[in-house]
Amino acid sequence: MTKLSLKLALVLVAALLAPGAEAAVYNFVQTGFDEGATISGSFTVNDANNSGQINVGSANFGMNFNEISAFSLSFSGNSIVAAFSHNLADLSVLVYNVGSPYLGDEINGAQQELIATNFFGNTGFDYYSGMGFGGFGGAVFDKASNSTSYSDDLVTVTPAAVPVPGAVWLFGSALLGFIRLKERKA
């Protein structure tokens, strides 16, 4: 009976620790804008069709948003374009090859990598970067003043660290305690 309990416990722990088909979180940054300004943000995606490429965007780009669940972007601002932030509602298009350390360097594949926010908006600020816009760098644009700040740098993308939930450690400790208690009785 002890061996069966131990095997069951090991199978349960392995199932809890096995990677699932959950969404991945990526952080991104683009430096090199005038006066040291930067773009930074994150996106949460799930490669729903297992294509190796996240390909989401507004109807204007003929895409949909089924592969993204969260998005944030902040521009630090400079004397040319003021600081601003965008969220998922502002995202116009995001094409990213999963696992690439950069966004915007890929010119092959189904769709060239690119990112754009508020691209079809009439007010506020635009941001765009990547090969889909004809270059590697990026630009932020203030629609009120018609001012633009440029960067020649690529967007650097890094996977966010995903912490193991505390409940897993608590469950594992309790399970180990029950196994040891059972061994003492045997």
Angle between helices 166-185 and 2-17 (to 10 degrees): 170
The predicted-structure confidence for 20-46, as pLDDT tens digits, reads as follows: 446 899 999 999 999 999 999 999 999
Q: What is the pLDDT of residue 19?
A: 44
Distance (Å, whole) CA 101 – CA 36: 22
Length of the chain: 186
| 167: Cβ contacts below 8 Å, ≥ 6 apart | none
- Regarding pTM above 0.75, the answer is no
Q: What is the pLDDT of residue 13?
A: 47
